[in-house]
Structure 1
Amino acid sequence: MGNSLKSISPKLFRQESSSVARGVIDMMDDIEIRNEAAAQRDYVIGCRRAIHRFAETSGREVRTSAFIKQQLDEIGIPYESLVKTGIIGILDTGRAGPHIALRADIDALPLPENPDNLKRARVVISDTPDETCHACGHDAHTAMLLGASKVLRKHIGELTGVIYLCFEEGEENGGGIQVMLDTLATKKVDSCWGIHVYNALESGKICVQAGPRMAGAIRVELTFVGRGGHGSRPDLSINPVFCAANFVNNLAVAFVNQIDANETVTCGITAIQGGQVANVIPDTATVLGSLRFFSMSEGDKAVRILHEVAENTARMHRCSVEYNEKYNKISVGPTINDPYYSELAAKALDAVLPSGTVSPCAPWYASDSFSLWLNRYPGVYAHLGINNPEYGSGAPHHNSYFDVDENVLDIGLIATLKYVNALGEEATPGQASKEKA
Structure 2
Amino acid sequence: MNNKDIEKKIHEEFYWFHKHPELSYAEVNTTKRIKKNLQEAAIDVLDLPLQTGLVAQIGSGKPPIAAIRCDIDALPIQEETDLAYKSQTEGKMHACGHDFHISTILGAAYILKQKEKNLKGTIRIIFQPAEEAPGGALDVLKTGVLDDVQVIFGLHSSPLFPVGVVGIREGAVTAAVDRFEINFIGKGTHAAHPQNGIDPIVAASTFISSLQTVVSRNADPFATDLISITHFQSGNTWNVIPEKAYLEGTTRTLQPEDRKLVRQRVYDLAENIAKAYGAKAEIIWHAGPPATNNDAAWTAFAREQAPKAGLRVEPSPYSLGGEDFAFYQEKIKGAFVQIGTGKSYSNHNPHFQVDPAALLPAAEYMSQLAFNALARIGK
- State TM-score, norm by structure 2: 0.95
CA displacement at 1:98 relative to structure 2: 2.6
Q: Does structure 1 retain, via aligned residues, the 8 Å contact 2:19–2:86?
A: yes
C-alpha distance in 1 between matches for 2:169 and 2:198: 52
CA displacement at 1:366 relative to structure 2: 0.6
CA displacement at 1:97 relative to structure 2: 5.0
Q: Does structure 1 retain, via aligned residues, the 8 Å contact 2:165–2:340?
A: yes
Q: Does structure 2 retain, via aligned residues, the 8 Å contact 1:196–1:383?
A: yes
Q: In angstroms, what is the RMSD of aligned CA positions? A: 1.8
CA displacement at 1:359 relative to structure 2: 1.1
CA displacement at 1:255 relative to structure 2: 2.5
1:131-210 alignment to 2 at 5 Å?
131-184=91-144, 187-210=147-170
Q: Which of 355, 361, 364 is equivalent to 1:405? A: 355
CA displacement at 1:427 relative to structure 2: 4.4
Q: Does structure 2 retain, via aligned residues, the 8 Å contact 1:275–1:282?
A: yes
C-alpha distance in 1 between matches for 2:189 and 2:326: 46
Q: Does structure 2 retain, via aligned residues, the 8 Å contact 1:98–1:423?
A: no
What amino acid maps onto 2:25 in structure 1? G
C-alpha distance in 1 between matches for 2:204 and 2:97: 36
C-alpha distance in 2 between matches for 1:368 and 1:41: 27
Q: Which of 344, 347, 353 is equivalent to 2:301? A: 344
C-alpha distance in 2 between matches for 1:77 and 1:302: 46
CA deviation string 1:154-173 (max 9, x = no partner)? 22112121111111111111
What amino acid maps onto 2:66 in structure 1? I
CA displacement at 1:428 relative to structure 2: 5.5
C-alpha distance in 1 between matches for 2:165 and 2:53: 29
Q: Which of 330, 354, 367 is equivalent to 1:375? A: 330
Q: Does structure 2 retain, via aligned residues, the 8 Å contact 1:199–1:395?
A: yes
Q: Which of 8, 12, 16 is equivalent to 1:50? A: 16
What amino acid maps onto 1:49 in structure 2? Y
Give aligned pairs, total.
Answer: 378
Matched, 1:332 2:293: no
Distance 1:251 1:350, change over 3 A: same
Distance 1:265 1:36, change over 3 A: farther
**Helix, strand or coil: the match of 2:143?**
helix
Q: Which of 65, 88, 91 is equivalent to 2:55? A: 88
C-alpha distance in 2 between matches for 1:74 and 1:187: 28
Moved more, 420-429 or 145-154: 420-429
C-alpha distance in 1 between matches for 2:172 and 2:361: 22
CA deviation string 1:113-167 (max 9, x = no partner)? 11x2xxxx213111213x2111111111111111111111122112121111111
CA deviation string 1:15-41 (max 9, x = no partner)? xxxxxxxxxxxxxxxxxxxx9555422
CA displacement at 1:175 relative to structure 2: 4.2
Q: Which of 44, 66, 71 is equivalent to 1:100? A: 66
**Helix, strand or coil: the match of 2:337?**
strand
Q: Which of 229, 241, 247 is equivalent to 1:281? A: 241
C-alpha distance in 2 between matches for 1:53 and 1:165: 23
C-alpha distance in 1 between matches for 2:353 and 2:49: 29
CA displacement at 1:197 relative to structure 2: 0.6
Q: Does structure 2 retain, via aligned residues, the 8 Å contact 1:245–1:272?
A: no
The runs of 5 or more residues in structure 2 that have no matched partner are none
The runs of 5 or more residues in structure 1 that have no matched partner are 1-34, 389-393, 430-437
Q: Does structure 2 retain, via aligned residues, the 8 Å contact 1:98–1:427?
A: yes
Sequence identity of aligned pairs in percent? 26
CA deviation string 1:363-407 (max 9, x = no partner)? 11110100011111111111012233xxxxx11211111111211
C-alpha distance in 1 between matches for 2:201 and 2:159: 38
Q: Does structure 2 retain, via aligned residues, the 8 Å contact 1:59–1:175?
A: no
C-alpha distance in 2 between matches for 1:249 and 1:113: 36
C-alpha distance in 1 between matches for 2:113 and 2:241: 65
Matched, 1:415 2:365: yes
1:91-130 alignment to 2 at 5 Å?
91-93=58-60, 98-114=64-80, 116=81, 121-129=82-90
